[in-house]
Amino acid sequence: MDIELSADDLKFRDEVREFFQSHDYKPGEDYAKWRLDWFKAAREKGGWDVPKWPQEFGGPGWSPTQHYIWEQETARANLPWDLPFGVGMVAPIIMTYGSKEQQERFLPDIRARSVNWCQGYSEPGAGSDLASLKTKAELTEDGKHYVVNGSKIWTTMAHIADWIFCLTRTDSSGKKQEGITFLLFPMKQEGIEVKPIITLGGSHTVNTVHFTDVKVPVENRIGEEGKGWTYAKGLLAHERTGLAGVSRSLVALEKLKHQAGTVKRGNGSLFDDPSFRGKLAKLEVDLQALEFTELRSLARAASGQQPGPESSILKLKGTEIQQRIAHLTMEAAGPHMAPWGGVNAGPKFARGGTQSYLGSRAYTIYGGASEVQKDIIAKNVLGIRSQGGSN
């Protein structure tokens, strides 16, 4: 898709590219120091370290086009490692629903990347049906603390997290979406046990977390007791928009085209094969259509609105496209993709391909399974309601 850029937009794009080039990681450099220096330099540019934050909280105040340019350029650049749970997920909730004291307490450390966060949402019996969560938070008699008991699962990076933002059940008397309370508390304290889960792709990124009589001060509650479901829905919209990975998929698709051109097929390459080219073309058309949806979402955010049902469209189609790219990469490498972790006899891009492909199977599950996204789209975009009610 071609976006007509103004002279100012082109100047901004050049400025972004120059920044990435001048602050790129150099081999042998202390990575931890480079990472912190990169974010410091980005902050000095006027909020580039928190591009999606509102101006009132230190964000850059970019136009939708500038956000689009940033997403395109970051997909190609060598950026420092950064978890999304702090800057991209819990920070917008604290900004919107947290108290002034909570904003002053938590946002500076989140922005400085000095505190790692994880997300306590899914449970063994409450995955896609998140509102069925059973982790309890009971208020002490003196009203100063909640005591949390229960378990969370698929908790990404819980093993390195300093804090968790957690959905808890404070009331079971009404509808399951009611009586849910949003709490923040440290991970390094008595009563919290983290157990690793090794994924199909062979990595340790997710965990099971058990809470036993964990004490949480009342001042660590976000907003009102029992209103956590409302806050959680806003956070999920931010998460789903990020999981779509449109810009990353655009770069990955271009790379796949190049890779296909290096695989010999008859007198030419795999890229010359009509069947494979047809699959690439269909994928590219779907990706361009999704890119337009992302631009609408960026325009909505730039006008100060919260992400709407388009975040579900982005998550649904974006993760499916990522899986299709992983599948076509497997197809391009053929039998050379089979070895696991060793030195491949075939093209270089085949190395690690099986692990990436297997890992991609989770894309359409985490952050809200595809079936959940289809329900949201049916209700909020198409106006289709179930016969059983109007939830």
* Residue 387 falls inside a structural domain: no
Beta partners for residue 208, in sequence order: 153, 195
Question: What is the C-alpha to C-alpha distance for residues 294 and 292, in angstroms, rounded to an integer?
Answer: 5
* Residue 99 falls inside a structural domain: no
Question: What is the C-alpha to C-alpha distance for residues 47 and 56, in angstroms, rounded to an integer?
Answer: 11
**Whole-prediction pTM value?**
0.81
CATH number for position 150:
2.40.110.10
Residue 91 · residue 107 · CB < 8 Å: yes
Quick one: 259 and 364 in the same domain? yes
Say which of 71, 123, 225, 239 is annotated catalytic.
239
User: How many domains does one find in the chain?
Assistant: 3
Domain that residue 254 falls in: 244-380
Quick one: 257 and 349 in the same domain? yes
* pLDDT, tens digit (0-9, with 9 covering 90-100), for 7-36: 999 999 999 999 999 999 999 999 999 999
* Residue 63 falls inside a structural domain: yes
CATH number for position 344:
1.20.140.10
Quote the crossing angle between the two packed helices 310-333 and 274-302, to the nearest 10°: 150
b/e for 58-97, b at 16 or more Cβ within 10 A? Answer: bbbebbbbbbbbbbbbbbeeebbeebbbbbbbbbbbbbeb
331 given a catalytic annotation: no
Quick one: 219 and 274 in the same domain? no
**If you search the block for the tokens 């390195």, which residue do you land on?**
160
Q: What is the mean pLDDT of residues 110-131?
A: 91
* Residue 385 falls inside a structural domain: no
* pLDDT, tens digit (0-9, with 9 covering 90-100), for 233-292: 776 665 666 678 888 899 899 999 999 999 988 889 999 999 999 999 999 999 999 988
How many Å separate Cα 148 from the centre of its chain?
26
* Residue 91 falls inside a structural domain: no
Quick one: 162 and 276 in the same domain? no
Quote the crossing angle between the two packed helices 228-243 and 310-333, to the nearest 10°: 40
The SS3 assignment for 143 reads coil
Quick one: 139 and 67 in the same domain? no
Residue 119 · residue 157 · CB < 8 Å: no
